[in-house]
Amino acid sequence: MSPSFLLYGANGYTGTLIAQMAAERGLNPILAGRGRARIARLAAELKLEHRVFALDDAPAVEANLKDVPVVLHCAGPFSRTSQPMVDACLRTGTHYLDITGEIAVFESLAARDAEARGAGVMLLPGVGFDVVPSDCLAAHLKRRLPAATKLTLGIGGVGRVSHGTATTMIENLGRGGLVRRGGRLTPVPSAWKTRRIDFGRGAIGATTIPWGDVATAFYSTGIPNIEVYAALPQTARLLMAASRRLERLLTTSSVQGFLKRRINARPAGPSDEERARGASFIWGEVEDDGGAKCVSRLSAPEGYTLTALTALAIVERTLKGQAPTGFQTPSLAYGADFILEIEGVTREDVS
C-alpha cells in the first residue's frame, strides 16, 4: 500500500495517539520526527514507514516532503516549528495541516494566504480540539444570526494536559490575554473577565483565555468582536490572575526552565482511561446590534481523543482532494456541520 500522508512529531503524546488511530483506520501514514530512535521504535511497532529529519535543515525537510501530498504537523510549540514546515510545503506543493492553538501562528499563516494560493497549497492550522469544534460552532451561530457583531465562546471539560500543551501554555505565561475588538486583536490582562456559562450541566465559572478562535473565528464568520472563556479549576484561574503581577518573573529563562522541568516529571498526558472517561463541551453565543441573541452548544469526546478524530477526518478529506487552496479554517474548508460527522459529537440550539 502506498503511504498516504506524513505525520511529523509522531513520537509526541498527541502524534502517537494520531499515529495509532491512523494505523487502525488503515491510513498508512509515514511517521516522522527528529529523534531517530523514538520514531523508528514507533514505526516498527505500528509497521509503518518512517523518516527522520530536523526542521532546521531546510533541504532535508523539502526532500522528505517532495513525494507527500499532505503533512499533518504535530510538533509544537508551533511558534517555533510551523514556519520551516510551511516554507517547505509551499516549495513542494504539499498541503499543510497542524494542531496548533496559538494565535500568532494562525495569524502568520493567514498572512501567507496569497502565497499558498499561488502554490496551489491548502494551509489549514488548528485541526484539533483547538479549533475544530469551536470554529464549526461559531460558523453555525453566524448562520443562525447573520447580522451578529459579537461572538462569545466557552470551552469546558479541559482535563489533564500533555507535556506539549503545558509547555506551550508556559511559554505564553506572563504575556497577558487577547480578544478581538472591532476586527483587531486587542491585548487584555490575563484572566481579564469572568462569567458563568451553562455547558449543559448547570452554570459554572469561566475566565477569558487567548484561545485560537480569537484569531480564526474572525476569518470564519467576519464577526468583529470575539471573546473566548474557559472553565478552568479555581487554582488555574487564580494563577492566571496572579500572573498579571508576575509578568517579568514568569518570562525569565530560570522560571520557565523550572516550570518545564516540573511538567516533564508528570505523565506525558491523560491515560487511555482518562480519555475514555473525559468529555469536552463548547458553548457559544452571538449577538447583533439590536440585542438579538442566539446560544448553541456542543458536547464532544475528551480533547485529545477529539484532536485525533478531527485531525484524521480532515486528513481523509484532504486526501480525497477536498483541499481548497490558501489559508483556511476548519469551517471555511468543510462547513459548520463538519463537526457533526465526528463520532460522539452532538449539537444543541439552546435559544
Ligand X SMILES: NC(=O)c1ccc[n+]([C@@H]2O[C@H](COP(=O)([O-])OP(=O)(O)OC[C@H]3O[C@@H](n4cnc5c(N)ncnc54)[C@H](OP(=O)(O)O)[C@@H]3O)[C@@H](O)[C@H]2O)c1
Q: Which stretch binds ligand X (CB under 6 A): 29-37, 174-182, 188-196, 245-253?
A: 29-37
Kindly tell me which residue out of 162, 225, 243, 331 binds ligand X, with binding defined by CB under 6 A.
162
216 binds ligand X (CB under 6 A): no
CB of residue 299 to ligand X, shortest distance in Å: 17
Binding to ligand X in span 60-79, by CB under 6 A: 74-78
80 or 160, CB closer to ligand X?
Answer: 80
225 binds ligand X (CB under 6 A): no
DSSP state letter for 268: S
CB of residue 171 to ligand X, shortest distance in Å: 9
294 or 330, CB closer to ligand X?
Answer: 330
Q: Which stretch binds ligand X (CB under 6 A): 10-18, 152-160, 183-191, 237-245?
A: 10-18
Residue with cell 469536552: 280
User: Within 10 Å of residue 120's Cβ, how many Cβ atoms?
Assistant: 12
Q: Which stretch binds ligand X (CB under 6 A): 108-116, 122-130, 235-243, 335-343?
A: 122-130
Kindly tell me which residue out of 164, 270, 278, 301 binds ligand X, with binding defined by CB under 6 A.
164
User: Within 10 Å of residue 173's Cβ, how many Cβ atoms?
Assistant: 19
Within its chain, how far is the Cα of 96 from the centroid?
A: 14
Strands 6-8 and 70-73: parallel
- Give the neighbor-by-neighbor strand order of the sheet with 50-52: 50-52, 30-33, 6-8, 70-73, 95-98, 122-124, 326-327
54 or 114, CB closer to ligand X?
Answer: 54
Number of residues binding to ligand X, judged by CB under 6 A: 33
174 binds ligand X (CB under 6 A): no
Q: In whole angstroms, give the CA distance from residue 275 to residue 102.
A: 23
Residues contacting residue 124 through CB under 8 Å, at least 6 positions apart: 95, 96, 97, 314, 318, 327, 328, 329, 330, 333
Strand, helix or coil at 161? coil
Q: Which residues bind ligand X (CB under 6 A)?
A: 9, 11-15, 33-35, 38, 55, 74-78, 80-81, 99-101, 128-130, 162-165, 168, 268-269, 304, 307
